[in-house]
Chains A and B, each alone.
Chain A
Amino acid sequence: MFGYTFQWKQALSKLPQMLDGALVTMEIALLSMAIGIALAVLLTLFRLSGNRVLNGFAVTWVEVARNTPALFQIYMAHFGVASFGIHFSPFTSLLIGITFNNAGYLAENFRGALKAIPETQTRAGRSLGMTPLEAFGYIVMPQMLRIAFLPMTNQMVWAILMTSLGVTVGLNIDLYGVTQDLNALTFRTFELFAIAGVIFYLITKIIQLGARLVAARLFRY
């Protein structure tokens, strides 16, 4: 029917290698999310601090992260900063690029979430003798993370998808990199990338399902 003969067997025999790649992909995404959330909280604090320098730093980070392509950010993390003699391995460059992106988007989400938390709560906390940081950490932040949970899930999915950009900085152990290497050897483009696509789809579904379970457990009232 098609002018092309599918060779699924040959492609499927590479599945174990691709699944190993999928693990690396998940590892990068999880790390970048964990660090990204921590940084985003920090950026949010900077914005709340009232200090002009800190606020400016946070705003710049958020705006650059949100207004330039992720590919650009990752390429910059590898080839751009190397102009200053700073070298990161492909893995680290990709991690830095995605984390930078995650932190920017998440900080913006957190800012939106903060609007939903009445300021009186902070004041109440302060009047109970909490320091501003304590009030933020014990009262505001938990609610903020809860409100921003759905955007965080979306960001996690994006982080997974963004790992595919690692090939541009020489990474070949993640799912996309492994697939591209196999493609270079066999030229079975369609079959290999179709399998990679299915794996990516399953990963994102698992994450979304997991997030729902976590949400159900965490957010019982």
Chain B
Amino acid sequence: MKLGLTLGGIAAAVVLATAAQADKLDDIIASGTLRCAVTLDFPPMGMRDASNNPIGFDVDYCNDLAAALGVTAEIVDTPFPERIPALMSGRVDVGVASTSDTLERAKTVGFSIPYYAFENAVVANDKVEMADWEGMKGKTVGATAGTYEAIWLEGQVKAWGEGEFRPYQTQADVFLALSQGQLDATVSTVEVAEANVKSGNFPGIKIVDKAPMVPDYVALFTMRNEYGLINYLDLFVNQQVRTGRYAELYKKWVGDGEPANLSVPGVDR
């Protein structure tokens, strides 16, 4: 009797312990839903179609990930500055939001291996005389708050010691301000710049030059301590490239040409 109780207790403890050890990966599979933070004003990575449904490279990427996990995807529209709060507050499971994997951020969240790499372009208002990226010196420039290029550009403006830097909350606000002539120039990813120029939504803007930055590697992210999930994400990114899906998505959303090489020569991750 007593032994039975003890055994029962141990069994219960084991069950509880296993339940407590279920990690995020298990939680996602069990819940049947993968909630992705995607930034939907960042064409062609994330945007909305004519009936305001989410579409884009990141949206497809999230859908692929959900399919691999055997769950349904839920796209949570998350502006750049709110990506991490959304993750930290458990509102999303994974960020598929073109997030640069900086060391400063890696202190707080866990990144997968890069799943995409951006080059950045300088985009200017038509009325502004600008030959190359250094033409931004002394001008009013802006970028999306909290992005890689914003951090770089603000650093540049400080280094130049003249001109003004304005971070807007969304990529759309940046291009709106640029198109309205409130900004003289901005730095954004080549993809975003080309998509916005091509769309005709923002009249009076032109691509001037490439920005002299290290390619902006972006990664999927989740909680820092969710190693199981991070491992899965790494393998998933690897498989996307291996199976040709990466090139396929590139062609679908970005266009012809070679998608960026995701490995850095001379070093392992």
Contact = CB atoms under 8 A, between A and B. Distances in A.
Interface of A: 4, 78-79, 82-83, 85, 87, 89-90, 167-172, 177, 180-181, 183-189
Nearest to A168: B169
Interface residues of B, number: 29
Interface in B101-127: 104-105, 107-109
- Interface of A, helix, strand, loop or mixed by DSSP: helix
A170 B142 contact: yes
Interface string B80-113: 1100110010000000000000001101110000
A169 B174 CA distance: 10
Interface stretch (B6-14, B27-35, B49-57, B177-185): B177-185
A83 B180 contact: yes
A186 B108 contact: yes
A85 B145 CA distance: 24
Nearest to A184: B146
Contact of B180 (A79, A167, A172): A79
B106 to A, nearest CB: 9
Contacts of B165: 172
B180 A82 contact: yes
B235 interface: no
A78 B173 CA distance: 10
Contacts of A78: 177, 182
Given A79-B176, A170-B168, A184-B151, 8 more contacts: A79-B177, A79-B180, A90-B166, A168-B169, A181-B145, A181-B154, A185-B104, A186-B108
Nearest to A93: B182
Nearest to B225: A3
A167 B85 contact: no
Contacts of A170: 142, 166-168, 173, 177
A188 B104 CA distance: 10
B150 interface: yes
Contacts of A188: 108
A125 to B, nearest CB: 48
A83 B147 CA distance: 27
A189 B85 contact: yes
B145 A180 contact: yes
Contacts of B145: 167, 172, 180-181, 184
A189 B84 contact: yes
Contact of A87 (B81, B173, B182): B182
Contact of A85 (B105, B166, B181): B181
Given A79-B173, A170-B166, A172-B166, A187 B182 contact: no
Given A185-B151, A186-B107, A189-B84, A167 B169 contact: yes
Interface string B136-147: 000000100111
B180 A87 contact: yes
